[in-house]
Amino acid sequence: MSDYTPKPEHKFTFGLWTVGNVGRDPFGEAVRHRMSPVEIVHMLAEVGAWGVNLHDNDLVPIDATPAERDQIVREFKQALADTGIVVPMATTNLFYDPIFKDGAFTSNDPRVRAYALQKTMRAIDLGVELGAKVYVFWGGREGTETDASKSALESGKRFREALNFLCAYVKDNGYDLKFAIEPKPNEPRSDIYLPTVGSALGFIATLDHPEMVGLNPEVAHEHMAGLNFLHAIAQAWDAGKLFHIDLNDQLFGRYDQDFRFGSVMLKQAFFLVKFLEDMGYEGSRHFDAHAYRTEDYEGVKAFARGCMRTYLILKEKAARWNADPEIQALVQQINADDGTYSYLSGGYSKDKAERLKAESFDVPALGKRGLPYEQLDQLTVELLLGVR
């Protein structure tokens, strides 16, 4: 039996807003008392997490005076020092206050856009002070209910201008910080700009400092749009843009459920963990999820432990999959290559094109050949079910 105890090298993190979620939803009040950031840090240490992430206002209330801010930050740093918990990622709350009801960087009101920039610069200072190396941009309110209200084209330009400004701010201050855009298709807006990983990747290429900006994809957000999360992750990885990841779970097509990692779509979670581990992804494994509304804080601890334990179990399953002789024989068979067409790799040449045009293919035979994917998938399922 393996050891599924979380360790610092696993880089498991939780946001203050995740384990600190009090269970409020649009139809009901809080069901858990609000824990202080210091209490949350101690709870994360108790369950074995490595790090904690935060929005500016998870820690410092939006109306705190500078003196209050300093005291809160001092106490929080003490809790970090007492527990060994680190802060790898920080972000700005640009969605809760009524000022952001029509967006922050994409608001039609230049005063709101200016305030959003000011708030983000201050939040970046705070994040850097706490040691964050990744800074997330989730544009939860950057969107519309009606496209009569805002120009989608202009909004894209405003978003770009804001990120360009903030990248320059980071450089100007000599901060060691990368940005990670977190896409989401809808909720709380009817439609949110940059709805998917693919659209964010395209947007990043248009920025002044694209090398500073990557992705923070979230399982649930691509699932809400009915998309294959692993495919999005592979594309982000290939582009060198997987700077951070939000792990959770939910069924396709639903509201933003933010369930415990691996609790709903186990096979997708397995292939995701396998990909991250096979590739040697070195960033945080951030569980952006929260416990069911039915739970008290014992249930919240069970939730947090469950996220990490499931990840580690799936990591072990991935290693087994990679070492399973029957599975690997099928993988080899599927990827068999006798080298006949290796001349096609390495790019185009006139000779290659001529040679290929002269080749003949047995198209009916290629169309008829069977592919053992049923067998391979069944072996995968059996491995996951624990009978292999």
User: Which residues sit at the interface with Mn ion, rule CB under 5 A?
Assistant: 218, 220, 246, 256, 258, 288
Strands 213-215 and 89-91: unpaired
Closest approach, Cβ 217 to Mn ion, in A, equals 9
Nearer to ligand GLT, 13 or 380 (CB): 13
192 pairs with which residues across the strands? 143
Ranges within 271-310 binding ligand GLT (CB under 6 A): 288
CB 376 within 8 A of CB 332: no
Closest approach, Cβ 256 to Mn ion, in A, equals 4
Q: Rule CB under 6 A: say whether 91 interacts with ligand GLT.
A: yes
The dihedral built from the CA positions of residue 201, 204, 206 and 209, taken in this order, carries a sign that is negative
Backbone angles phi, psi at 13, to 5 degrees: -130, 160
15 pairs with which residues across the strands? 53
Closest approach, Cβ 203 to ligand GLT, in A, equals 17
Alpha-helical runs (H) found in 7-151: 16-19, 37-47, 56-59, 66-83, 110-130
Of these residues, 33, 56, 58, 223, which one is catalytic? 58
Closest approach, Cβ 368 to ligand GLT, in A, equals 47
Nearer to ligand GLT, 50 or 321 (CB): 50
Nearer to ligand GLT, 256 or 316 (CB): 256
Q: From CA 314, how far away is CA 123, in angstroms rounded? A: 35
Nearer to ligand GLT, 17 or 321 (CB): 17
Of these residues, 3, 25, 42, 55, which one is catalytic? 55
Binding partner selected for residue 102 from Mn ion, ligand GLT, none, CB under the kind-specific 5 to 8 Å limit: none
Q: In this chain, which of 102, 142, 218, 222 binds ligand GLT, going by CB under 6 A? A: 218
The four Cα atoms 233, 238, 241, 246 give a dihedral, to 10 degrees, of 20
- Taking CB positions, which residue lies at the least distance from ligand GLT? 138
CB 320 within 8 A of CB 277: no
Q: From CA 351, how far away is CA 370, in angstroms rounded? A: 33
Residue 55 annotated to the active site = yes
CB 164 within 8 A of CB 208: yes
Q: From CA 8, how far away is CA 83, in angstroms rounded? A: 12
SS3 of residue 222 by DSSP: helix
Residue 147 annotated to the active site = no
Nearer to ligand GLT, 248 or 380 (CB): 248
Closest approach, Cβ 92 to ligand GLT, in A, equals 8
Binding partner selected for residue 276 from Mn ion, ligand GLT, none, CB under the kind-specific 5 to 8 Å limit: none
Nearer to ligand GLT, 218 or 249 (CB): 218
Ranges within 10-69 binding ligand GLT (CB under 6 A): 17, 55
User: What mask, x for binding ligand GLT by CB under 6 A, covers residues 249 to 278?
Assistant: -------x----------------------
User: What mask, x for binding ligand GLT by CB under 6 A, covers residues 179 to 208?
Assistant: ---x--------------------------
Q: From CA 304, how far away is CA 13, in angstroms rounded? A: 10
Q: From CA 213, how far away is CA 201, in angstroms rounded? A: 9
For the chain, where are the E strands, in sequence order? 12-15, 51-55, 89-91, 134-138, 143-144, 178-182, 191-192, 213-215, 246-247, 285-287
List interacting residues with ligand GLT (CB under 6 A).
17, 55, 91, 136, 138, 182, 218, 246, 256, 288
Active site amino acids: 55, 58
